[in-house]
Chain A
Amino acid sequence: MISVRNVTKRFGQLTAVNNVSFEVKQGEIVGFLGPNGAGKTTTMRMITGYFQPDAGSIFVDGIDVALNPLKSKALLGYLPENSPMYEDMTVKEFLSFIMDIREVEQRKQRLDYVIAAAGLESVFNRFIWELSKGFHQRVGIAQALISDPRFLVLDEPTAGLDPNQILEIRALIKELGKEKTIILSTHILQEAEALAEKILIIDNSKLIAQGSKEELKGKLLSSNSTKAVLRKDDNFSKKIGEMKGVSEVKTRSLDEYTEYMIFSKGDVSEEVFELAAKTGAVLKELTAESVSLEDIFVKLTSKGEKK
């Protein structure tokens, strides 16, 4: 289990991670979701011991990362963002170096496994600087897997891969997730939806939601959402926010039209239509929408105007 307790990290004036707590249970795949700069990478860097938190503590399998970093690091396989590597080494040399330091037993077996799993047969003897972005990323994944760690921390594992490779790596992660505890970050919603059993949403340094996809959807589904596109009309804008049952309205300007996302208890599409008719606003489009992970994400993280 990975346990993050009230962790805060500051860089000068900037608070990168603000009092974040969560747990990743044994055998779980957890997706860390958030816009760029939200604090995903900083959090992962604290779990892996690259950064020290300013407050709070982190435990990997009960081991305090701050007090016993060697032990916790030995349990973790880590793919850093952009998978930095020694470009002047060949793939073989680099993987051997990691095996040396991680004191991997049965080297041949592990090497054969990661090479097959990450599809590195064709580049095994090439220098890392010669590799394409996709292969580069796959060497990073191989490196994280080579010691057969119980915990995997993957920072944007599919970044830079082409669509086929993305599917391969996702399949690999799913397969690994059967026996390993995995925490992966992504800003691609479909990826989190496809891979993760539990999702953490972080925005602006704070953890703003966590739970299974179903739980997150459930939270939102207690409220419906209705999309309405109308010709710009101040009177309608004012009244929609005051309508009974409406919890939140987000607007987006589309030239002479305005798009409203109306979150409410129960279906309010008929009321919206009536309101448009009453105020004389020109209604172009009206849809009662089902909730996708994307809506949850946008609702939780966007700083769009609230009416």
Chain B
Amino acid sequence: MSKRFFYILKRELSGYFNSTIAYIYITLFLVMVNFFFFKDFFITGTLSMRNMFDLTPWIMFLFIPTVTMRLWSEEKRRGTDEVLFTLPVTEWDIVLGKYLGGLTFVVITILLTINIPITLLFLGKVDPGPIIGGYAGLVFIASAFISIGFFVSTFTSNQIIAYLLAAVAGFLFFIIGHPMLTSGTAGFFSEAMSYLGLYAHFTSIGRGVFDLRDFIYYTSFTAVFLLGTHFVVKKRY
């Protein structure tokens, strides 16, 4: 790896911001997150973002595939992967640059929800711990969704298929550990599933508990799919 991955990241980001879809994406995401948050906020009247951190992953699993679907599919469709692979960069530069490009874009959108904690600060005394923890959790879960969407987009040159594959795969990983599915199962199985699933790790982060195990989980989840992407990309033809 070299600093060249940074140029790939930069190009990926400029690709997002050069397209109108990025702005529609950001607007829609912010409107949805704000709507769902403030809808209940005035009813419950608690100065907590718990509600938002519980909800945003559900929105993300639909939105992030729109970010990842073009990461490879578009390169394949336009043949620009041939330009990339014949430039003096390694496959790792390309994979990391693209992944971080997607992640940076999503992190920017997440940070734009800053209006919510600011509103809370104006309304009273807020415990910053769970908010920081919750945002960190969102970034980690975004990273996991991006890595899985990135991986599946290497298999098709069709963006719609890439979107659907990413949404389905993300959804599966999200729900396997959900209490709705694991509550009826036996001890070990239930624990294993909730460890594998994205959901369980997220709830503890959302509560402001930043457990090392969750950190390891998200990092390794992302790493596995980045390794998979690198493998597919390295093999090419």
Please report A residues at the B interface, Cβ cutoff 8 Å: 11, 45, 48-52, 70-71, 73-74, 76, 78, 80, 82, 84-89, 93, 97-98, 100-102, 127, 143
Contact = CB atoms under 8 A, between A and B. Distances in A.
B19 interface: yes
A50 B87 contact: no
B85 A86 contact: no
Nearest to B8: A101
A93 B14 CA distance: 9
Interface in B26-74: none
Nearest to A70: B88
B119 interface: no
A70 B90 contact: yes
B78 interface: yes
A50 B88 contact: no
Interface residues of B, number: 22
Interface centre among B4, B7, B15, B89, by most chain A C-beta atoms within 10 angstroms, is B7
A78 B88 CA distance: 11
A71 B85 CA distance: 13
Interface in B77-96: 78-80, 82-83, 85-90
Contacts of A71: 88
A2 to B, nearest CB: 14
Given A88-B18, A97-B11, A73 B82 contact: no
B236 interface: yes
Given A88-B18, A97-B11, A49 B79 contact: no
B189 interface: no
Contact of B83 (A11, A51, A76, A84): A84
B188 interface: no
B131 to A, nearest CB: 36
A100 B237 CA distance: 27
A88 B237 contact: no
A151 to B, nearest CB: 12
28 contacts: A11-B237, A49-B85, A50-B82, A50-B86, A50-B236, A51-B236, A73-B88, A80-B79, A80-B83, A84-B82, A84-B83, A85-B80, A86-B11, A86-B80, A88-B15, A88-B18, A89-B11, A93-B14, A97-B10, A97-B11, A98-B87, A100-B4, A100-B7, A100-B10, A101-B89, A102-B88, A127-B18, A143-B83
Contacts of B89: 70, 101
A49 B4 contact: no
Nearest to A51: B237
A74 B4 CA distance: 13
Contact of B18 (A76, A82, A89): A89
Contacts of B10: 97, 100
Contacts of B14: 88-89, 93
Contacts of B8: 101
B4 A88 contact: no
Given A73-B88, A86-B15, A89-B11, 18 more contacts: A49-B85, A50-B82, A51-B237, A52-B236, A71-B88, A73-B86, A80-B86, A86-B78, A87-B78, A88-B15, A89-B15, A89-B18, A93-B14, A97-B7, A97-B10, A98-B87, A101-B88, A102-B87
